[in-house]
Structure 1
Amino acid sequence: MRGQGRGGFRQASALEATLHACNEAATWAASVAFEKEARRPLELRKHTYAEIRVRWGLGAQAAQHAIKKTCDAYTTLKANLRAGRYGRPGSRRHARASGRPVVFRSQAAQPYDDRMLSWQHQARTVSIWTTAGRLKNVAFTGQAGQLEVLAAHRQGKSDLVFQGGTWFLIATCEIAEAAPNSHPVGLLGVDLGIVNIAATSDGARHCGRRINRKREQDRNLRSKLQKKHTKSAKRRAKRYAGKEARRNKDINHKISKRIVAEAERTGRGIALETLTGIRERARLRKPQRVKIHSWPFAQLGSFIVYKAKRARVPVVYVDPACTSQECSQCHHTARGNRPAQAVFSCRVCGFVEHADHNASHNIRQRGWMVWVCGAQSTAPELTLIA
């Protein structure tokens, strides 16, 4: 969203005050939920709704969303605790996460429904509720393709976000899923790894040594900042972490776009490894552990899936066990077949290939067997954020 002159400044001030009020109310509701163990919307509403309306001046819908946001945060926290993302029960990190109320940042995203936000797509403006009253004729912009998708497919709530000095409205768009190609001429195997983030059975390798050197620099800088323990170092580390995450996301988008475009161009599907438990299955040396834990493989997989769905490219998942040790020609499997990280040399038939490409051939072959047997795409339903 954007504004001009004094009007734009007044709009930004009203939106900022609204975010602060909504998040202060949500933080207070979180403390009440923690104290009274009321983690469900209906139950928490009885304890907080009236006071939120009076104390922070929120409208009925805004108060409801603040309460719902609080309950969703506790649901997410419970799931993360159960999944072990805060360590084992009894550990210091687990106790710290579970032993205190949830706190929201003053500029955390606030959901808006159609009663609080209306879109005028022809004029490219919105009318949005704030604590200072309803703002009308607030201009918004975006790429031409994004605006078309927004006008045709927007559904449900939108989130108001302030990031990097710019205001965003993140709208959820639901696009009807097109039927995937039911008769692909073959599959494109994709092997995900450490040195090369992705290698395909066509011989392409994405993100090699240059990206890994940059990742090493990121880790070294992060380590230096963490050792200083100063406020300025913490601020810099937080700012740099956001930059690193955006760069990794951009790389994953580019890799997934190229893979899907090649599969669509050649009329093929895509065979991927099942990523569940990849970090638990890996038996790596300490430097390699750092590398595999620092790259968002699940994000890359999800990007490939949703781009494939839009392009009508079928996706098949296969068991990744021993794909790096199996010969793609004679299928002899042994650790000795891989004498070096990048080299595959079969001890039985003598086949020599780049190790990642050999693994991608195995993934392609396993995927084709899965497809022939009728177990087609197991990808999740498509939901896009515009």
Structure 2
Amino acid sequence: MRVSRIFDRSVTILSCSGLLVFAGLAARTADHYARGAVMSTARIAHLSSAETADILTKAKIASPVQTGVDAYRVLYRTVNTRGNSTPASGLLVLPAGSTHRLRLVAYEHGRLTTRRNAPSVDATQPDRARAIMFASAGYAVVAPDYLGLGKGVGRHAYEHVSSELNASVDLLRAARTVVGRQHREFDPKVLVTGFAQGGPAAMALGEKLQDGKVQHFGPAAVAPVSGPFDLEHVQVPAELDGRLSPRPAVLDLAYWLVSTRRVYHLYRRPAEAFQEPYASSVTRLFDGHHDEATITASLPSTPERLLTPAFADRLRHPDGGLLRAMQSSDDTCAWKPRVPVRIYAATGDRRVPIANARACQATSGSGLVDLGARIDHDGSARLALPQILAWFRQLAPPS
């Protein structure tokens, strides 16, 4: 009997210990899969002021350098287009020095077809240099790679605003943890900007922050550049009717259709949307490993040769999943900002027409800065982002 009681007690203790161990593991596992959980952090650059200035010069960014910077790649948890937990990567750039409280800029990048060109991976791409520009002025900067780019998994959902928004919000959460480990903190008011694809993403992030749905963060100002804010009424019609440069239009249309099909099921087979021989290869081209030059060389020179006549007509008169796909990205300006918002665009842009910005201005009541008729799409970023930095410094100077 005595042996039995001792045995029973031992079992009870072991069982309780097991439950406690299991509960502890479950809690750690739940934390690991929580949105914004940091999976790993790696410092990828430590730059002096002179080295920082050299990077900006090579990127043709005209902006004075106040400080050197440290750049980190952050691997963190977000959700994919189906709402399931997935890893994503992003860039965090911090100004050198011992400043405890940091003002924060969120930068949303433009079109990238290869995962290796994402801001947290490729030190030679303009997006890394743009983030460094803001950090060299004294700001902390986050720049999400987005789903399927950088060190994340799966395919990239091009111009899918909700997934870009999720990646951005969860990087803010992860970055807050990273700087907390360095005994630093963020000012809660975020300055938001973004270029091209990142324009609608920036507007969406501004709205999310203003709604108070992101704990610890709110907006300070928003300044998107050359964004395709109106796919249904402006961007896609202009790509189809020849108003835009045809080869970039082909690339944008193909990338968006292949990406969006995985979310909204726009067609059953590529041959329903694309003419041969492109129908047989177009999906493979956007696997995250082909660069823009390779893709462009593999696709036709005009949208008329890319798309079947029936599908081109569907794009001109969208309904069903195609209309939902457009409208899901076209509502990013449908809010009334309570913080300063300036939209930057160029009359001379033949990839993203300025009519997108005018539509966003009309809906949101925001200001519009026309960068001019001599400025093309890429030139709009080079010209606008230093102006945005100067504006941010007036509104919310670095701490």
Q: Which structure has the larger Rg?
A: 1
The question of a shared fold, defined as TM-score above 0.5 by the shorter chain, is answered with no
